[in-house]
């Protein structure tokens, strides 16, 4: 699987920021909260993989790494615009983003490069399983504003396309033994705690700023969306735990059939030359 860098522009309609998802503001703002973390997170992924690029013997994997870096850079660029529109809608997106940047900077300063790569593959697993459910369950984006839906679909498709790249790098340069296993498993366990302890309060703050804090119907919609029907988070739980198997590899979840949709999006949103 060789990923391809695609230069797409989505030009999101900022006035739809709070209700672009048909499930309403609480769900829309949940996705918006995730967007806040992408530019700095993807920058971190790029740097952690780039550090090891020269040590990769396999020329095909080297090529995949270049494409991985290109894809994440494009995602970062589009999510920066997304987050600017979120900030323009009155949300404290920039302050939240700065906190994420500070945490990642600290990680870069105090952690060995092997741990930084372990963080990258753990978060890539997280994005890959979220991407999978987004592609598998059309209801999650049904009726959504088309540009927002296309951006999230494109991101999910490219995350799928490159989901094993950083993992393969990790296996080549860190290894597949017990030490490498413990390092990557601990990284996912720690990041799961860190991730939700940032996303949940940020989402609460954004919903509160949007006036929905006491809107019980809105919260119920979000609970139903994630835990009942269609059950986005509920349904990623088994795939999440697969990562803790010593012999795990991302392509054991073979969902490449979704990638057939990618060119249709690319044609519609290709950046003007
Ligand atoms: Fe990405
Ligand atoms: Fe990624």
Q: What is the pLDDT of residues 99-108, one digit of tens each?
A: 999 999 999 9
Contact 132, 253 (CB under 8 A): yes
Distance 154 CA to ligand 2 centre (A): 12
Q: How does the average pLDDT of the chain come out, rounded? A: 97
CA of 95 to the centre of ligand 1 (A): 21
Please tell me the predicted confidence (pLDDT) of residue 1. Answer: 81
Contact between 22 and 142 (Cβ < 8 Å)? yes
pLDDT at 77 over 60: yes
pLDDT > 90? residue 67 = yes
Q: Rounded to the nearest 10 degrees, how much is the dihedral formed by the CA atoms of 183, 102, 44, 7?
A: 150
At 8, phi and psi to the nearest 5?
-115, 150
Q: What spacing in Å lies between the alpha carbon of 73 and ligand 2's midpoint?
A: 10
* 271 Cα–ligand 1 center, Å: 18
Q: Nearest Cα to 21, choosing from 195, 160, 139, 137? A: 139
Task: Tell me what pLDDT residue 133 has.
Answer: 98
CA atoms within 13 A on the CB side of 113: 12
Task: Residue 66: name the closest of 150, 162, 210 by CA.
Answer: 162
> Which whole-number Å values give the CA distances from 244 to 24, 113, 197, 247, in the listed order?
34, 21, 21, 9
Rounded CA-CA distance 273/25 in Å is 35
Average pLDDT over residues 191-217: 97
Which residues keep their CB under 5 angstroms from ion ligand 2? 159
Helices (H), 89-145: 93-110, 113-136
From ligand 1's centre to the CA of 260, what distance in Å?
A: 18
CA of 215 from ligand 1 middle (Å) equals 32
Percent of the chain with pLDDT over 70: 100
Give the position of tokens 């989402």. Answer: 203
Cα–Cα distances (Å) from 196 to 48, 96, 212, in that order, read 22, 14, 20
- Of 149-163, 190-204, 257-271, the poorest mean pLDDT is in 257-271
Q: What tokens appear for 216 in the block?
A: 């019980």
Q: How far is the CA of 131 from the centre of ligand 2 (A)?
A: 10
The pLDDT-based confidence of 24 (bands split at 50, 70, 90) is very high
CB 45 within 8 A of CB 124: yes
- Encode pLDDT of 253-266 as tens digits: 999 999 998 999 99
* Close Cβ partners of 54 (under 8 Å, ≥ 6 residues apart): none
Q: How far is the CA of 180 from the centre of ligand 2 (A)?
A: 20
Distance 118 CA to ligand 2 centre (A): 13
Name the DSSP class of 64.
H
Tell the burial category of 252 from Cβ atoms under 10 Å away from its Cβ (0-12, 13-18, 19+): exposed
Looking at residue 89, what is its pLDDT? 97
Question: Using CA atoms, how far apart are residues 265 and 118, in angstroms rounded to an integer?
Answer: 31
Asked if residue 41 has pLDDT above 60, the reply is yes
> Which listed ligand is nearest to 163 at the C-alpha?
2
Instruction: Judge whether residue 149 has pLDDT over 90.
Output: yes
Cα-to-centroid distance, 8 and ligand 1 (Å): 13
Q: For 209-264, what is each residue's pLDDT tens digit? A: 999 999 999 999 999 999 999 999 999 999 999 999 999 999 999 999 999 989 99
Ligand nearest to the CA of residue 160, numbered in listed order? 2
Instruction: Tell me what pLDDT residue 273 has.
Output: 54
Ligand 1 midpoint to CA 76 (Å): 7
- Cα–Cα nearest to 165, from 269, 257, 273, 56: 56
What's the rounded Cα separation, in Å, for the pair 259 and 102? Answer: 34
Fold observed for domain 19-269: Ribonucleotide Reductase, subunit A (1.10.620)
* Mean pLDDT value of segment 111-127: 98
Helix (H/G/I), strand (E/B), else coil: 182: helix
Q: State the distance from the centre of ligand 1 to the C-alpha of 17, rounded, in angstroms.
A: 20
Report whether pLDDT(159) > 60: yes
Those residues whose C-beta lies under 8 Å from the C-beta of residue 165, and which sit 6 or more positions away, are 3, 49, 61, 64, 65, 67, 68
Examine the pLDDT at 271 and tell me if it is beyond 90.
Answer: no
Nearest ligand atom owner, CA of 156: 1
- 59: tokens are 């020329």
- How many whole angstroms from 220 Cα to the centroid of ligand 1? 29
Find the 195 Cα to ligand 1 centroid distance in Å: 16
Query: Half-sphere exposure of 208 toward its Cβ, with a 13 Å CA cutoff?
Result: 7
Taking the C-alpha atoms of residue 271 and residue 273, their distance in angstroms, rounded to an integer, is 6
């Amino acid at each position: 699987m060789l990923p391809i860098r695609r230069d797409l522009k989505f030009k999101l309609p900022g006035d739809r920021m709070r209700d672009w998802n048909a499930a309403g503001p609480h769900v829309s703002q949940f996705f918006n909260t995730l967007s806040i973390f992408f530019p700095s997170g993807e920058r971190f992924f790029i740097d952690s993989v780039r550090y090891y690029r020269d040590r990769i013997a396999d020329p095909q994997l080297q090529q995949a790494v270049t494409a991985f870096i290109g894809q994440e850079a494009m995602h970062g660029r589009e999510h920066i615009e997304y987050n600017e529109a979120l900030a323009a809608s009155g949300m404290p997106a920039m302050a939240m983003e700065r906190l994420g940047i500070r945490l990642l900077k600290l990680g870069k300063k105090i952690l060995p490069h092997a741990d930084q790569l372990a963080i990258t593959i753990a978060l890539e697993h997280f994005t890959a399983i979220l991407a999978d459910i987004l592609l598998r369950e059309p209801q999650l984006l049904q009726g959504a504003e088309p540009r927002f839906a296309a951006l999230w679909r494109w991101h999910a498709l490219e995350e799928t396309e490159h989901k094993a790249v950083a993992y393969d790098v990790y296996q080549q340069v860190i290894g597949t033994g017990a030490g490498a296993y413990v390092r990557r498993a601990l990284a996912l366990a720690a990041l799961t705690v860190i991730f939700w302890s940032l996303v949940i309060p940020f989402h609460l703050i954004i919903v509160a700023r949007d006036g929905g804090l006491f809107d019980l119907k809105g919260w119920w919609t979000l609970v139903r969306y994630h835990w009942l029907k269609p059950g986005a988070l509920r349904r990623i739980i088994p795939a999440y735990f697969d990562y803790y198997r010593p012999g795990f590899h991302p392509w054991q979840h073979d969902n490449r059939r979704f990638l057939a949709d990618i060119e249709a999006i690319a044609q519609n949103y290709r950046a003007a030359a």
